[in-house]
Structure 1
Amino acid sequence: MIRNERMNWFARVLFVSLIGLIGFSLVPLSGKIGGGEHHSQWVVQHGVLDLKQWNPDADPVIPLDGEWEFYWNQLLEPDDFLQPSSLPNDGAISYIKVPSPWNGKLINGVKLPVYGSSTYRMVLTGLSYTGELALKKTNIRFASKIYVNGRMLMEDGQLSGDKTGYRAGNHPQLGVFSANTNRIEIIVQVANYDYVNSGLVDSLRLGSADGLIAERQLALSKDFVVLAILGTLALIYLICFVAAFAYRIRDYSLVLLASICLLFGLYHGLMGERSLFFLLEGRFSFEVLYKMKDFVSVAACLALALFFYDLHRSKLSLRIAQVVSFALIGFMVIIPLISIRAYTPIQVYVVALYQIVQVWNFLIAAQLFVRGERGSRFKLLMLCVAVLMINMYSLDVILFGLGIHKSAWLAQICIIIFNVVMVPVVVLRFFEAYQTIDKMKDQLQRLDKIKDDFLSNTSHELRTPLNAIVNISQSLLKGVEGPLTDTQARNVSIVVESGRRLMMLVNELLDYSRLKHGDLALQRNAVDVKSYVESVIQIHVFLLEGRSTKLINGLPDHLPLAYADGNRLIQILHNLIGNAIKFSDRGVVKVSAEVRGEWMEVRVSDTGIGVAADMRERIFLDFEQGGAAEYGGAGLGLSITKRLVELHGGHIEVDSEPSQGATFRFTLPLAGQKQESGEDGKLAESVASPLPGTVSVPPPAYPLFVAGKEKEPILLVDDDFANLQSMMNMFKLEGRTYIVVDRGQLALETLFSHPDISLVVLELIMSDMSGYEVLGRIRERFSPFELPVLVLTARNSSEDIRIALENGANDVVAKPFESEELMARVRNLTELKSSVKLARNAEIAFLRSQIKPHFLYNALTAIAELCVIDAEQAEQLTLRLSRYLRSSFDFKHLEAMTTLENELELVKSYVAIEQARFGTRLKVEYVLEANLGVMIPPLVIQPIVENAIRHGVMSRSKGGTVKLTVIEGARGGVLVRIEDNGCGMNEYQLKSILKPDTEVGGIGLWNISQRLRLLYGTTLRIDSQEGIGTRVEMELSTSHILEREVT
Structure 2
Amino acid sequence: MAFARVVDWFIAPHLAKDLHTRKRVQMFIISHIFGPFIATPIPLFLWFADPDPWPHVLILAAAIYGFWPFLALVKLFPRAYTLLAMASVTNLSFCILWGTYNYGGASSPFLVWFVLTPLLAFMYMGSSWTARVFVLAQITLGLGGLYGVHVYGDFPEHIAIENMVVAGVLSALGANIYVFMMAAYYSSVVDSQSELIKEIGRHQYTLKALTSAKDEAERANNAKSDFLAKMSHELRTPLNAVLGYAELLLEDAELDGRGEQIADLQKISAAGKHLLAMVNDILDISKIEAGKMALHIENVDLHDLIDEVASTGRSMAAKNSNSFVIERGDDLGVIRADATKLRQAVFNLLSNAAKFTHNGTITLATRRDGSWIEIAVLDTGIGISREQQSMLFSNFSQANAKIAAVYGGTGLGLSLSQNLCRLMGGEIEIESEVGRGSRFTIRLPVRVESAAAVPQNNSMEEKLTPAEREFLDEAEDDQQSSAGKAGSSEPLEHDKRQRILVIDDDPNFLDLAERLFVRENYTPICSDAPQSALQLARTVKPAAIFLDILMPGFDGWDVLAALKADPATADIPVIMISILAERGKALAAGADGIVMKPLDAAKVKATLAVLKATRGRTKDAAV
Whether TM-score is above 0.5 comes out as no
Using CA pairs below 8 Å that are at least 6 residues apart, which structure has the higher relative contact order?
Answer: 2
For the pair shown, the structure with the greater C-alpha radius of gyration is 1
Normalized per residue, the structure richer in helix is: 2
